[in-house]
Structure 1
Amino acid sequence: MTGAGRTVQLSLSGLAAGIAPDGFGASGHVLEIGGAEQSHVDLAHPERIFYEYLRRIGNVVDAMAPAGEPLTAAHLGAGGLTLPRYLQATRPGSAQIAVEIERELPSLVLRELPLAAGTRLRILNDDARAALPGLPDAAGLAPGEGFDLVVVDIFAGPQSPPHLACEGFYREALAVLGPRGILVVNIGDDAGLAFFAEQAAALAAATASAPADPGAGPGSGSDPGPVSRPAPAGPWTLTEAAMLSGRREGNLVLAAGPGLASGAPVDPREQAEAWRRAGPHPAAVLDPLETEGFVRSLR
Structure 2
Amino acid sequence: MPKGPKVRGGRCQVRFGTAELIRDLDRPNGWLLSVDGVAQSYVDLDDPKHLEFDYVRRIADVIDCLPDGPFQTLHVGGGACTLPRYLAATRPGSSQLVFDPDGELVEFVRERLDLRSVPRLRVRVSDGRDGVATRRDDSADLLVLDAFVSAAMPSRLMTVEFLRDVARVLRSTGTFLANISDGPGLAFVKRVVATVADVFDDVLLLADPAVLRGRRFGNLVIAASDTPLPVQDVTRRAASAAFPARLVIGDKVHEFRQGAKPITDAAVITTPTPSKNAFT
TM-score surpassing 0.5?
A: yes
Which one of the candidate residues 151, 156, 159 is aligned to 1:166? 159
In structure 2, how many angstroms separate the alpha carbons of the residues matched to 1:94 and 1:269? Answer: 23
- Residue by residue over 1:192-222, the C-alpha shift from the partner in whole angstroms, topping out at 9 and shown as x without a partner, is 2111111111111122xxxxxxxxxxxxxxx
The superposition leaves residues 157-183 of structure 1 with CA deviations (integer Å, 9 ceiling, x where unpaired) of 994333223111111112111132100
- The aligned residue for residue 77 of structure 2 is 77
Q: Secondary structure at the match of 1:296?
A: coil
Give the structure 2 partner of residue 256 of structure 1.
Answer: 224
Cα distance between partner residues in 1 of 2:132 and 2:240: 31
Judge conservation of contact 2:194–2:260 (CA < 8 Å) in 1.
no
Alignment of 1:241-280 (within 5 A): 241-258=209-226, 260-261=227-228, 268-277=230-239, 279-280=241-242
**Cα offset for 1:16?**
0.4
Q: What is the RMSD of the two structures over their aligned residues, measured on CA atoms?
A: 2.4
- What is the 5 A alignment of 1:177-216? 177-207=170-200
Alpha-carbon separation, structure 1, partners of 2:242 and 2:97: 27
Equivalent pair of 1:93/1:120 in contact (CA under 8 Å): yes
1:71 and 1:179 map into 2 onto residues whose CA distance is 14
**Amino acid of the structure 1 residue aligned with 2:59:** I
Contact 1:58/1:83 (8 A) holds in 2 = yes
Distance 2:174 2:242 in 1: 23
Is 2:88 the partner of 1:95?
A: no
Equivalents in 2 of 1:35, 1:19: separation in Å? 11
Change over 3 Å in CA distance of 1:286–1:5 after alignment to 2: closer
The aligned counterpart of 1:120 is: 120
Please name the residue that 2:271 is paired with: none
* Distance in structure 2 (CA, Å) of the matches to 1:193 and 1:84: 29
3-state SS of the aligned residue for 2:102? coil
Corresponding residue number in structure 2 for 1:239: 207
Per the TM alignment, residue 283 of structure 1 is displaced from its structure 2 partner at its CA by 1.6
Among candidates 142, 158, 163, match of residue 149 of structure 1? 142
Aligned partners of 1:253 and 1:47: how far apart in 2? 19
Retained in 2: the 8 A contact 1:177–1:257?
Answer: no
1:92 is paired with a residue of what secondary structure? coil
Residues 237 and 46 (structure 1), Cα distance of their counterparts in 2 relative to 1, 3 Å cut: same
Conservation of the 8 A alpha-carbon contact between 1:185 and 1:255: yes
Measure, in 2, the Cα distance between the counterparts of 1:128 and 1:204: 21
For 1:249, give the aligned amino acid: F
Q: Does the alignment pair 1:131 with 2:131?
A: yes
* CA apart distance, 1:243: 2.0
Is 1:186–1:253's contact at 8 Å kept on the other side of the alignment? yes
How far apart, CA to CA, are the structure 2 residues paired with 1:157 and 1:16? 10
Amino acid in structure 2 at the alignment position of 1:32: S
SS in structure 2 at match of 1:164: helix
Percent identical residues = 33
Residue 226 of structure 1 is matched in structure 2 by: none
Distance 1:72 1:111, change over 3 A: same
Q: What count of residue pairs does the alignment treat as equivalent?
A: 255
Unpaired runs of at least 5, structure 1? 137-143, 208-232, 262-266
Q: Is the 8 A contact 1:183 1:256 kept in 2?
A: yes
Cα distance in structure 2, aligned partners of 1:273 and 1:176: 27
Other structure's SS at 2:124 match: strand
Q: What residue is the counterpart of 1:291 in the other structure?
A: 253
Q: Is 1:76–1:154's contact at 8 Å kept on the other side of the alignment?
A: yes
- Offset from partner CA, 1:96-155 (integer Å, 9 cap, x none): 00000111111111111114746111111111111112234xxxxxxx542111000114
For normalisation by structure 2, the TM-score amounts to: 0.83
Moved over 4 A (4+): 155-159
Q: Tell me which amino acid in the other structure corresponds to 2:174.
A: G
Do the aligned partners of 1:29 and 1:40 also contact (CA within 8 Å) in 2?
yes
Amino acid at match of 1:111: E
The offset of 1:293, in angstroms, is 1.2
